[in-house]
Chains A and B, each alone.
Chain A
Amino acid sequence: MRLSCGIDQLMASPSLVIRRTHMYLALFLFPWMLMYALSTAAMNHRAMFASAAPGGAPQFERERQLVYDGVLPEGAELRVVSQQILASLDLDGAHNVTRRKDGAIVINRNDLLTPRRVIYSPVDRTLVVEKLPHRTNMLLERFHRRRGYATGYALDTVWAVTVDAVIVGMVFWVLSGLWMWWEMKVTRPLGALAIASGVGLFALFLSTI
């Protein structure tokens, strides 16, 4: 009964629908927005983080080394080989793979929390697993840059959908925000001044830098 009352109320007022969508969308997507805000700030001050970190950019550290006892299919594509190796290490997920001149296969596993590099040497069948040490600003950057539908992994595709949802959300918040502002007559003069200042400043940047 209460639910149907609420829906009736929403149907009766497009303004209420816009307000509620603005709010619920924000409540759902706030972790993404917080992550994008923090990661943007980290990237904007990259030089500060770099100077604070001893030894420059983080280097891969050896995690473990083992002999690979699996059988790799003859003449298989690199992608098939890398997936088999990663699965055997329980590390399957989004990755890039290349073959070095010496024949070694280098797999960069784009793990969000702990990026790893796996090097397989066919000559002695050794697998070296390396990981990047944790740095909060780098983690935020990885989060910020994670996107795209081409990894071939379902979870990455779903993530890419959520990134698109954030984009739609941002555009919707701008448009619905304008709508809500216009409905509040008392805020129109100051609001118009805020918009004009913002647009003017933006135009200045656009024409000068």
Chain B
Amino acid sequence: MTFSHLNRRVHLYLGLALLPWFFMYGISSVPFAHTPFFERRDAAKGLPMWTLRSEHSVEAPIPEDPAALRGFGRTLLQQASVEASTFGVYRQTPTQVNVYVYSFWNSTQLKYFADQKRLTVEDRRFRWDQFLTGMHGRGGFEQEGLLDRSWSVIVDLVCLAIALWIASGLYMWWGLPATRRWGWLAIGAGALSFVLFTLRL
């Protein structure tokens, strides 16, 4: 097997294996790029975004140390009997802490009001655009679960694959002398516009 042959095969098989992610990132960019359109469309339905699931009486001091906030969030989840592997904890005000629990299909938020000793649990209505943007934005290594971390490893793999597709694609293009003139034009036009955007935006 020559290097050229290997290069072609890696370009192809890597593309086929990561096809669902690449396709997902492409499609899910649409609601990001056209947010006002999707928001207007949803607002026209006149449906509430969050529905109250339950309310609890809870008394727990909010920790001052930001590093302890995640543990505090886990305690709130237990108090409300909400199962969660993926969640984020945010201090909204000195007396309010929100816990967001999310999967690809569902989102739940817990709001703890320390001054009222009250904890509410609300479920978000499913929206396809949010399903896609949620998938697009998923990543990072802050969650403890193995599958969550595996997803983030694949996100890294997709980044690496894109760099590899660019390099292997350039190599394949160079191997086709008949396409060099138009290829240079495409590269030049793309790079020049990109530099212009970088400097002027």
Contacts and interface: CB of A to CB of B under 8 A. Distances in A.
Interface of A: 6, 20, 23-24, 26-38, 40-41, 43-47, 93-94, 111-113, 143, 146-148, 150, 155-156, 158-160, 162-164, 166-167, 169-171, 173-174, 177-178, 180-181, 184, 187, 190-191, 194-195, 197-199, 201-202, 204-206, 208-209
Interface stretch (B52-60, B74-82, B122-130, B142-150): B142-150
B23 interface: yes
A162 B30 contact: no
Contact of A191 (B12, B25, B26, B151): B12
A208 B105 CA distance: 10
Contacts of B139: 40, 43-44
Given A27-B186, A33-B162, A170-B22, A209 B104 contact: yes
Most chain A CB inside 10 Å of its own CB: which residue of B30, B85, B172, B200: B200
Interface residues of B, number: 66
A14 B189 CA distance: 25
A171 B26 contact: yes
Contact of B141 (A45, A158, A209): A45
Contact of A23 (B29, B140, B159, B173): B173
A31 B191 contact: yes
B104 A206 contact: yes
A20 B179 contact: yes
B173 A181 contact: no
B18 A187 contact: no
A166 B162 CA distance: 13
Given A23-B172, A46-B140, A195-B19, 5 more contacts: A23-B169, A24-B182, A27-B173, A155-B200, A197-B17
Contacts of B187: 27-28, 30
B87 to A, nearest CB: 12
A52 B182 CA distance: 43
Contacts of A46: 140
Contacts of B26: 167, 169-171, 174
B16 A147 contact: no
A111 B200 CA distance: 8
A146 B201 contact: yes
Interface in B141-188: 141-142, 145, 147-148, 150-152, 154-156, 158-160, 162-163, 165-166, 169-170, 172-173, 178-179, 182-183, 186-187
